[in-house]
Amino acid sequence: SQRDPMLKRDGFEDILEERRNSSDLKYALRCYAPVLYKGVTPCKANMLKNIVLQSDQLHYVINQVSQESGEAPDIIQEEASVILEEMAHRLQISTVRFFAFALSKAFKTLFQHVCVNEEGIQRLQQAIQEHPVVLLPSHRSYMDFLLMSYILYTYDLALPVIAAGMDFMGMKFVGEMLRMSGAFFIRRSFGGDKLYWAVFSEYVKTMLRNGFAPIEFFLEGTRSRTCKSLTPKLGLLNIVIEPFFKGEVFDVNLVPVSISYERILEESLYARELLGVPKPKESTSGLLKARRILSEDYGSIHVYFGQPVSVRSLAQGKVNRSKYNLFPRHIPRKPMEETQSFVNDTAYRIVRLQEDNMVLKPWVLMASLLLQNLEGLELSVLTEQTLWLRGLALSYAAFLDWPDHAPTAKVVSSSLALHRGLACVSGGRVSLVVGEPLGPVTPEEAVFNRAVSVLSCASYRNQVLHVFLRPAMLAVAMHTAASSKKNEVYNCFSFLWDVFSNDFILCPGDTVQDFEEACYLLVKTGAVQMPQQDIEMTDRGQPILSFFNGLLEPFLQGYQMLLPTLRSEHSVFCVFTGNLRCYEVLSSDMQKNALAALLRMDAVRKVKSHFAVGMFVLTVNTLFFNFRADHVTLIVNKMAVNSIDDILGKCRMISHINQTQISPSFSLIAVAEDLYRDGLTQSYIR
């Protein structure tokens, strides 16, 4: 649906303002008496475990596993108890109070403001009393789940129980403190462990059915290291929606929460991870070493609690719940096709709501412009173009936080000061900062340092992509199509929509709707006109369409640079000779998404193999294969790959890359790790 730029959004309150003017100790020790769902009594951790262990569903699975394994049911029951002990939270108000005190101190040092929409808090307070609530925050930082609990404590709301990865549990002292503040720990993947899945799902559903506390998890499954929204994971969402389908609860309220950081604590860490530097293992010593960030200024945070989404209302006319009456409730069953489709649509809907309520700062506009001008921009030109882009973003209903009545020059200089680690002004010219080497560097090390700078900056540009994505795809489609006929432009748009479905949140089945929205927005801003069945650029449309083409250029170029890999007959090939301009192709995220797109578009297919196969890895200058055995081979459909390559070539504004030699040095192994983690585990290219 086309978005109205005058769409009313709630105002914000800075919750740190009171903290700066009153005692943190008094705040932490204050009376805390949140209202719960239908007045239920808070459930102690041991009581919750007993309810889970005595449930009919878990007993059914225990008997099933016993029959399959030959182990006695009592032994399986004991295994279930051990799993639950490892997993379960042990919420203690004393630990919550300690975190309230410590986080107040930390937040006042790190951030200028922590702004929350109070109307959203009031809606949440009402929702918690009426139906079980599931909090679904965006995930861009480790800080997210601490911030959520801090805000709910501040507003005297029931603290959530939070799904956390096992890696946090390994942190001495900190892991147990997180558990005592509401975290429950789950494995990153369950494989075919039927018992673990049964314990986990019953634990979550027991909390949800009884409304003991809001449940919180990240729909994207992991932190987004690119600051783009990630394709939602459906496992936990299936679990929390199932009690509604089975008639165990009247409704479930899903609450999208958008957390926007003006400056991300992990910005350079993320860039290095995307370039293959292994992620530091979560540890208490690592946390203590990170204290140096307390001397930095990270600007403001905006947290927007969206309108609760009623699962009952969403499912009306889409899911026939009567089918669930045909089977006993305690027998676990795979979701029916219509149910899975509904859950998938709901997940995408929630992520889109998260995106729409992301608060964007001026720096995201400036980063978008700087990345299209890697050689730098005159400060006066950057200021002028930022003001122009602000108008365009607002006309597309961007949720932009721009200082009232402040001159644009002051806004720009303030943003540059906050992000001085990424961009600097020298001789009146603004350019990206590249880390200063300690000594002589090799050409490949220079590329690495430059890539860190570009990918760090790209993480901010990515925050505004959801605003411009659809009109940008239409701009590229118009550039690509052989004519101005609407149907031919739509065909190009549809191709791009399909290619980029892993890189951006594009709701399945919404291609036509997204195309119409793109047309509406470009017509509205005077960039195109649509006489009869044509789409034509207007006289004033050139700068807008040019900017949009440039916005998608790194993705088009990155995908196209990866395609020759698939056509090569050798295990080491495709040397990037050149003053590499497309640094984003070095991102493991882009590589992973490109490969996933090719799998989905049948340009490659999986075949089980017991022979050595080549693993897809990208270096600064070389795409090559490592060889492993007993994995799945990807068979390349070279005709399809050539066809995709040809169309991407037509989409591209830049037809060639200047070439000079860069010698090999380091490999970006993160792509292999991400493929392994994200379900393409055994997808390797022959």
* Three-state secondary structure readout of 58-123: HHHHHHHHHHHHCCCHHHHHHHHHHHHHHHCCCCCHHHHHHHHHHHHHHHHHHCCEEEECHHHHHH
Confidence of residue 674 (pLDDT cuts 50, 70, 90): very low
At residue 632, the pLDDT reads: 65
- Tokens describing residue 477: 């489609």
Confidence of residue 607 (pLDDT cuts 50, 70, 90): confident
Cβ burial, residue 619 (10 Å; 0-12/13-18/19+): buried
Considering 140-144, 430-434, 464-468, the range whose residues carry the highest mean pLDDT is 464-468
At residue 570, the pLDDT reads: 47
Chain segment 217-226, per-residue pLDDT in tens? 999 988 999 9
Annotated domain spans of the chain: 42-103+116-260+304-357, 363-551
DSSP conformation class of 424: E
Q: Mean per-residue pLDDT for 621-644?
A: 63
Higher pLDDT, 95 or 333: 95
- Count the helices and strands in the chain (H runs, E runs): 27, 21
* Residue 676: how many other CB atoms lie within 10 Å: 13
For residues 111 and 297, what is the distance between their CA atoms, to the nearest angstrom? 6
Q: Mean per-residue pLDDT for 321-344?
A: 83
Chain segment 377-402, per-residue pLDDT in tens? 999 999 999 999 999 999 999 999 99
Chain segment 160-210, per-residue pLDDT in tens? 999 988 877 767 678 888 888 989 989 877 777 899 999 999 999 999 988
pLDDT at 430 over 80: yes
Amino acid at 514: D
Q: Which residues of 90-119 are buried (b: 16+ CB within 10 A; e: fewer)?
A: bbeeebbbebbbebbebbeebbebbbbbeb
The strands making up 423-426's β-sheet, listed across from edge to edge, are 377-378, 429-432, 423-426
For residues 195 and 206, what is the distance between their CA atoms, to the nearest angstrom? 16
Average pLDDT of the chain, as a whole number: 85
Find all residues with CB under 8 Å of 140, minimum gap 6, and list them. 223, 224, 227, 259, 261, 264
Sign of CA dihedral 369, 370, 373, 376: positive
- Tokens describing residue 271: 């860039």
Chain segment 474-526, per-residue pLDDT in tens? 999 999 998 899 999 999 999 999 999 999 999 999 999 999 999 999 999 99
Find all residues with CB under 8 Å of 287, minimum gap 6, and list them. 171, 174
For residues 353 and 683, what is the distance between their CA atoms, to the nearest angstrom? 32
Over pLDDT 70: what percentage of the chain? Answer: 85
Residue 165 in 3-state DSSP? strand
For residues 489 and 536, what is the distance between their CA atoms, to the nearest angstrom? 10
**Cα distances (Å, whole numbers) of residue 269 to 272, 587, 600:** 5, 13, 31
3-state SS of 372-403? CCCCCEEHHHHHHHHHHHHHHHHHCCCCECCC
Closest-CA residue to 603 (of 681, 683, 674)? 683
Q: What's the distance, CA 238 to chain centroid?
A: 19
Q: What's the distance, CA 650 to chain centroid?
A: 30
Chain segment 88-128, per-residue pLDDT in tens? 898 899 999 999 999 999 999 999 999 999 999 999 999 99
Strands 572-573 and 623-628: antiparallel
Q: What's the distance, CA 668 to chain centroid?
A: 21
Q: What is the largest CA-CA distance in the chain?
A: 78
At residue 535, the pLDDT reads: 95
At residue 637, the pLDDT reads: 86
At residue 112, the pLDDT reads: 96
- Of 333-337, 458-462, 596-600, 635-639, which gets the smallest average pLDDT? 333-337
At residue 582, the pLDDT reads: 80
β-partners of residue 426 are 429
**Cα distances (Å, whole numbers) of residue 516 to 285, 477, 509, 510, 625:** 52, 13, 13, 10, 42
Name the pTM for this structure.
0.89
Closest-CA residue to 452 (of 594, 610, 583)? 583
At residue 14, the pLDDT reads: 96
pLDDT at 85 over 50: yes
Helix 143-154 vs helix 93-110: angle between axes, to the nearest 10 degrees? 110
CA-based angle 64:70:75, to the nearest 5? 80
Considering 241-250, 320-329, 630-639, the range whose residues carry the highest mean pLDDT is 241-250
- Tokens describing residue 212: 């003991």
**Cα distances (Å, whole numbers) of residue 574 to 586, 620, 623, 663:** 14, 11, 6, 12
Residue 571 in 3-state DSSP? coil
Residue 54 backbone dihedrals phi, psi, to 5 degrees: -95, 5
Instruction: Note whether 163 and 220 are within 8 A (CB).
Output: no
Instruction: Note whether 292 and 171 are within 8 A (CB).
Output: no
Higher pLDDT, 620 or 337: 337
Q: Mean per-residue pLDDT for 261-282?
A: 86
CA end-to-end span of the chain, whole Å? 43
Confidence of residue 680 (pLDDT cuts 50, 70, 90): very low
Q: Which residues of 253-280 are buried (b: 16+ CB within 10 A; e: fewer)?
A: bbbbbbbbbbbbbbbbbbbbbbbbbeee
At residue 444, the pLDDT reads: 78
For residues 349 and 310, what is the distance between their CA atoms, to the nearest angstrom? 12
Higher pLDDT, 367 or 654: 367
Chain segment 8-56, per-residue pLDDT in tens? 678 899 999 999 999 999 999 999 989 888 767 777 888 889 999 999 9
pLDDT at 67 over 70: yes
For residues 625 and 620, what is the distance between their CA atoms, to the nearest angstrom? 14
Topology of the domain covering 42-103+116-260+304-357: Glycerol-3-phosphate (1)-acyltransferase (3.40.1130)
User: DSSP of 478-546, one letter per residue?
Assistant: HHHSSS-BHHHHHHHHHHHHHHTTTTS---TT-HHHHHHHHHHHHHHTTSEE--TTB-EE-TT-HHHHH
At residue 659, the pLDDT reads: 31
Instruction: Note whether 160 and 216 are within 8 A (CB).
Output: yes
pLDDT at 651 over 90: no
Helix 486-499 vs helix 511-524: angle between axes, to the nearest 10 degrees? 120
DSSP conformation class of 292: G
Confidence of residue 281 (pLDDT cuts 50, 70, 90): low
Q: Which residues of 285-311 are buried (b: 16+ CB within 10 A; e: fewer)?
A: eeeeeeeeeeeeebbbbbbbbbbbbbb
At residue 499, the pLDDT reads: 95
For residues 536 and 285, what is the distance between their CA atoms, to the nearest angstrom? 59
